[in-house]
Chain A
Amino acid sequence: MKKKRFNLKKWWPYYVLFLPAAIYLIMFNYVPMSGLVLAFKEYWPKYGMFQSPWADPFYKNFAYLFQDSYFWQVLKNTVVISVLRFVVTFPATILVALLFNELRSKRYAKFVQTIMFIPYFVSWVVIAGIARNVFSIDGLVNGFLEMLGIDKVRFMTTEIPFLVLLILIDLWKGWGYGMILYLASMSSIDSGLYEAVEIDGGNRWTKMWHVTLPGLKSIIVMQIVLSMAGILNGGFEQIWNMYSVPVYNVADILDTYLFRISFGQEQDHALSTALGLFKSVIGLILVLGTDKLSKKISGEGAL
């Protein structure tokens, strides 16, 4: 009855290989995480984040935040934008992937996929630059609308058109990538299932509905969990480069507000940390919650 002994001679190389990442994570992830105590403090620059005095009462920053009507405004904007993004992008990407799967010509499919993926690699700065041009009052799109006899629209500075733009541009940027994730799952569907449908006399729509779509269940669940987790994000990089004062009412989100109170003119480091902590905690609860829920409903989780 020998107890299994820990064999350092065998395992040390693995720990050595893990060490650099561990040191990095402690320095750049775990130290900042412990810095979240600042959310319950008053920030005094000369004392830094750990030595600054505690706020009195300790929840002072949160109390201030939750009493601020502008906080609720940006929270609402964030959720609205996230939900709109999800409602449009999620089904549209699945639909595109399903249709793509029906393309008969391999070469054409390859070409389509190559081109569709390009916008995914374009930075938000560049996309904002292009959008400012294409959607300007005498830009490409308004020229097209004029040709059709439709009134010109100030897309970048009118609330509703701006929201529509945010979501459609996001779809345009992401569908090439999103599609590949679904196609990867489709490729692992048992081809015997398709043959079974064929024998039963089903056509391509039956196959799509009864074999392909159910085969995507786990990736769909994963996408839902991930977008629930990101519901308080709303797309900082896109909005920061595209928005302007006239659309703040609908487009100012938690992250843009957070950025302004972190580094802008009226900066408040402790308040910003409190807002960041609020965001992280809600995000975490949502991920773990939806993951649990999806495990209960479909027997599959994303984590």
Chain B
Amino acid sequence: MMKRKKKLKSANGVDICINIFFAIVVSVSLIPMLHILSLSVSDEYAVLNNPGMLFPDFEHINLMPYVAVFRSTSIYRSLFISFSIVLLATLINMIFTIFTGFVLSNKDLPGRNLMMTFVLIIILFSGGLIPTYLTVSSYGLVDTYWVLVLLGAVNGYNIIFMKNFINGIPKSMTEAAQMEGANVFQLLVHIIIPLSKPVIATLSLFCAVGKWNDWSTAYIYIYNAKWLKPFQNVLQDIVVNPDTSNAYGLDLSEYGTAFQNALIVISLIPVVVLYLLSQKYLVKGLFVGSVKE
């Protein structure tokens, strides 16, 4: 009896250590963002007094940087551009992913191996920066909105992920539909897509976040058309290379770094909201898709 009790107790000790370890991990994950949030809403006095704050001093709040952000038309516009790119690009990417994943999942399809290789090659090999740039430029897409939407619209990894998931759907379900006379398109719309919801949600989330966070496309392809710059690029200009912020008609000296921090907070909000909303599907989707056939 005593021996058992002792064993139980030592197990608890280990559990407590593991719990504490993850409490630290959680803090480390959150502290940087909490810190920036606090700085962004604090006035100059509070920032000077306590530069390492984790929580804002509620007697020294200054929300003027946020007001200034929403008064700047260039920032407004960049937010609009970013949101519209995210919506369009995710939609297009998902259409490509679902169609192609579905086609490749059919093992009886003549020529399927060839098509599979066609997709796999783009995962393993690429033309690289300059050949891609010159090609896109020869299509007349430089300095256009569409380059931001179209680049990366077909993602080999997503297609394989989708294919693996569809392969995991029980054959009996698809066969039953076909017995009842469903054609290929009906099969896709009424059986495959509804059953793939967690995977589609997961891939959409990754695609949407990827597009929202993407700065390199506009960095390369938006050269003269400054009004097409997505929010990340405006953010990069203001936060990473602060000398260029005059280009946005902003006077940084007025708010100091609070303005930069406010922009960072604004860029985090959509991502975190989207993530928390799709959380229900996310882990499930990653679990099913990452298991190989």
Contacts and interface: CB of A to CB of B under 8 A. Distances in A.
Interface of A: 6, 11, 13-15, 17-18, 20-22, 24-25, 27-36, 38, 48-49, 96, 99-100, 102-105, 108, 111-119, 121-126, 128-130, 132-134, 138-140, 143-144, 172, 175-176, 180-181, 183-185, 187-188, 204, 218-219, 237, 241, 258-259, 262-263, 269, 272-273, 276-277, 279-280, 284, 287
B235 A172 contact: no
Contacts of B125: 33, 280, 284
Nearest to A101: B18
Contacts of B51: 138-140, 143
17 contacts: A21-B119, A22-B118, A32-B135, A35-B127, A100-B22, A121-B209, A123-B212, A125-B267, A128-B239, A129-B239, A132-B240, A133-B261, A143-B51, A172-B28, A172-B29, A280-B125, A280-B126
- Interface majority SS (helix, strand, loop, mixed), chain B: helix
Contacts of B236: 125, 241
Contact of B183 (A13, A188, A273): A13
Contact of B130 (A96, A115, A204, A272): A272
Contacts of A11: 109-110
Interface stretch (B57-65, B72-80, B149-157, B243-251): B149-157
B180 to A, nearest CB: 17
Question: Which of A24, A96, A140 has the most chain B CB atoms inside 10 A of its CB?
Answer: A140
Contacts of B102: 17
Given A13-B184, A123-B212, A241-B236, A48 B138 contact: yes
Interface string B164-192: 00000000000000000001110010000
B240 A123 contact: no
B130 A276 contact: yes
Nearest to A33: B127
Contacts of B109: 11, 14
B260 to A, nearest CB: 7
A241 B30 CA distance: 21
B100 interface: yes
B119 A25 contact: yes
B125 to A, nearest CB: 6
A118 B154 contact: no
Contacts of B118: 22, 25
Given A18-B99, A121-B272, A133-B36, 11 more contacts: A11-B109, A13-B183, A14-B184, A24-B96, A38-B131, A108-B22, A121-B213, A125-B215, A130-B35, A269-B130, A272-B128
Interface in B2-29: 11, 14-15, 18-19, 21-22, 25-26, 28-29
Nearest to A7: B110
A115 B26 contact: yes
Contacts of A121: 209, 213, 271-272, 275
A188 B29 contact: no
Contacts of B212: 123
A104 B272 contact: no
A277 B127 CA distance: 7
A122 B268 CA distance: 7
